[in-house]
Amino acid sequence: MDKIILNNLQFYGFHGLLSEENKLGQRFQVDATLYIDLRHAGKSDDMNHSVHYGQAYELIKEVVEGEKLNLIEAVAESIATKLLTRFHLLEACTIKVTKPDPPIPGHYDSVAVEIYREKNDE
């Protein structure tokens, strides 16, 4: 399957279970893989046969910088749902949401969730 990949998108949001996360906010990183047949776009050179990745970026930004959610699982789900709804040619997507600096003790690079959703998922 063909895909459009948006790597390491950087945002600042206020998601989390802890009150300091909701008050102070933190960095979030998003990776989005958009599964779409790109054959017609490649042959026609016509954006109507693809997904405009600038618009996809803005949609992801609205979710991450928007309404506060408790779980990054909910952030990922919201992004996937909105992408699949907004772009009619999009068949599926993989969304990874990373918290580089979660407020938990220990030594680690980050914590993340990754989901895969198809257009016909319920």
d(CA 46, CA 41): 5
99 is catalytic: yes
Identified catalytic residue from 3, 82, 96, 99:
99
Residue 88's CB: how many other CB atoms inside 10 A? 8
Q: Which helix (H) or strand (E) holds 117?
A: strand 111-118
In this structure, the strands spanning 26-35 and 92-99 are antiparallel
d(CA 69, CA 14): 8
Question: 68 by DSSP, 3-state: which?
Answer: coil
CB 11 within 8 A of CB 27: yes
Catalytic residues: 99
